[in-house]
Structure 1
Amino acid sequence: MEHHMEHNGPFCQSCGMPVAEKDLLGTDREGIKTEEYCKYCYEDGEFKQPDITLQGMIDLCAGYLVQQGMDEAEAKGMLAQTLPLLKRWREESVS
């Protein structure tokens, strides 16, 4: 059974952040906006943190959610459920 985050529109396939606003979108090698990733994860066709692990991304994103008032354990639990379904981490877990 798939879990979907509770919002409409595209979201980053690396960190799960909603990217409804065009200025949040990452860019490919030609500088063209991509709807797959946000600008915090992906720029000029490359990941900004190429060596980050899934757990590292969960910890990083949980920090932002805590700043927004979410409980840390709750944030990490939600991310642990949703991030592995995203394109970046599905591809990585295969290898």
Structure 2
Amino acid sequence: MENRISCQSCSMPLDAIALQGTEKNGLKSKDYCKYCFNDGAFKNPEMNLEEMKINVKNKLKKLAINEDSIQKTVNILPTLIRWKSS
């Protein structure tokens, strides 16, 4: 099974370099997507885990992802680097 790299904030797959956020030095982030992280900082630093769960659910529903897959993705969120200490 292939090990996929995912955003450590929202769990979005980072399959394409274009999806990676940027560090303060301009390099691509290996941990976060461009929707969560830019220029070395979170785009929405006040967001908490519960808000991220709602955000992810809403985005996946718009993409017509099935409920089982949505729930699995939401269940992963607390294990991600950004939320582990929350």
TM-score by length of 1: 0.80
Q: Please state how far the C-alpha of 1:71 moved relative to its aligned partner.
A: 4.6
Asked if 1:86 corresponds to 2:84, the answer is no
SS state of the match for residue 55, structure 1?
helix
- Name which of 12, 21, 34 aligns with 1:26: 21
Q: Following the alignment from structure 2 to structure 1, what is the Cα–Cα distance between the partners of residues 45 and 54?
A: 16
Q: 1:10 to 1:28 in 2, by over 3 A?
A: same
> Taking structure 1 as reference, are residues 19 and 54 closer, same or farther at Cα in structure 2, changes over 3 Å only?
same
Distance 1:72 1:53, change over 3 A: farther
Matches within 5 A, 1:1-95: 8-71=3-66, 75=70, 77-91=71-85, 93=86
Q: Which runs of 4+ in 1 moved over 6 A?
A: none
Give the number of equivalent residue pairs.
Answer: 86
| Stretches of structure 2 lacking an aligned partner (at least 5 in a row) | none
RMSD: 1.9
Distance 1:81 1:17 in 2: 13
Q: Deviations over 1:2-28 (max 9, x none)?
A: xxxx97421100000001100000111
- Percent identity, please: 37
* Unmatched segments (≥5 aa) in structure 1: 1-5
Tell me which protein shows more helix as a share of its residues.
Answer: 1
